[in-house]
Amino acid sequence: MIETGSTDFAADIASPVTALITLDILGLPLSDWDTYAGPIRRNSVDDVSTKGVEISERIYPLLAETVAARRITPGTGLVDELIAARPNGEALSDETVVDMIWQLLVGGFNTTSALLSWSIYYLDQHREQHQQLIDDDQFLRIATEEFVRWSSPVNTLARTVVRDVEIEGQQISAGDRMLFIFGAANRDPEVFDAPDDVQLDRFPNRHFGWGTGIHRCLGSNLARLVFQETLRQTLKRMPDFTVDQENIQREPDRAGGNGWVSLPLRFTPGPRVNTEYAFLSEFF
């Protein structure tokens, strides 16, 4: 879209970039990116009556067919490594492999794309920091953690209590369900100075944006790399971008995620410099 002078950053850059990288790691066809990303993205905005229908009726059957076919004719990728794995000497069932692939798709798609979109939304109004993000690797790494803290792409996560415990005078019993609100923890005034402000040089930054403990995000380092390179290239190739504020659309308020449906940009058109993935344009 570099030659057109406009794009929807959330739909045309953040979503496909994260989807393509995830599919490449899994060993699934890159041309199927929207087959998976579309339903996952729409699931974030569907009303309760339709939520998950497209995923259960379309994505899960497709993944089941893929796993069954790859058992017969292996390919190259994480899908095949899961099929070949023998934890405790036994193969994983098709259902388990499908569930694991699904978790990787969900974890790899909307989270990093939301982080990218939030950063572009912020940087539209803070142009004095663009060049430093391009030129200074250390600053970009530190800024990444602040963008994660501030945006909290995964806002909450539920867990089941495994033993009786008392926290802050509240008795919690084994079997109870708890909802951890990472977005609140990331703006705790007892931990962060001016918690509602974005301070791209904030360090140290003890945020919970990647989770914590044994439930820490498995792909956090990959997400950092994808975020940093995509952000840097966007700032280089569209240096004068502006957000069309009248047509932005956030995902509806909900417990789990904190992303974007639409983030339209305008910029001075530039020349295309890489045609390696031109075949993907037909899928946009």
Q: What is the pLDDT of residue 233?
A: 96
Q: Are 10 and 258 in contact (CB under 8 A)?
A: no
What six digits make up the tokens of 115? 């982080």
The answer as to whether 34 is a domain residue is: yes
Number of separate domains in the chain: 1
DSSP string, 107-120: HHTHHHHHHHHHHH
- What is the pLDDT at residue 216? 87
- 225 in Cβ contact with 115 (< 8 Å): no
Say if 217 falls within a structural domain: yes
In this structure, is residue 183 part of a structural domain?
Answer: yes
The predicted structure's pLDDT at residue 275: 75
The pLDDT tens digits of the residues spanning 35-61 come to 998 888 877 766 554 557 778 888 899
Neighbours of 58 (CB within 10 A): 14
Does any domain span residue 1?
A: no
In the structure encoding, which two tokens stand for residue 40, read together? 């996952």
- pLDDT value, residue 171: 96
Q: What is the pLDDT of residue 190?
A: 96
Identify the three-state secondary structure at position 74: coil
Enumerate the β-bridge partners of residue 160: 177
Taken as a whole, the chain contains a residue count of 284
Contacts of 190 (CB under 8 A, 6+ apart): none
Q: Give the H/E segment covering residue 261.
A: strand 260-262
CA distances from 14 to 6, 20, 108, 173 (A): 14, 10, 11, 41
| pTM as predicted | 0.91
CATH code at position 42: 1.10.630.10
**Separate counts of helices (H) and strands (E) for the chain:** 11, 9
Bond from prior residue into 204 cis (ω within 30 degrees of 0): yes
Answer yes or no: is 91 within a domain.
yes
Which among 269, 238, 29 is positioned nearest to 116, based on CA atoms? 238
pLDDT at residue 46, as a whole number: 62
Cα separation, 56 vs 275, in Å, equals 35
Q: Give the residue numbers spanning the domain of 121.
A: 6-283
Q: Three-state SS across 80-94?
A: HHHHHCCHHHCCCCH
Low-confidence ranges of the chain (pLDDT < 70): 45-51, 254-255, 277-284
Whose CA is closest to 44, among 284, 258, 264, 263?
258
- Please, what's the b/e burial string for 117-152 (b: 16 or more CB within 10 A of its CB; e: otherwise)? bbbbbbbbeeeebbeebbeeeeebebbbbbbbbbbb
Q: What is the DSSP string of 105-166?
A: HHHHTHHHHHHHHHHHHHHTT-GGGHHHHHH-HHHHHHHHHHHHHHH-SB-EEEEE--S-EE
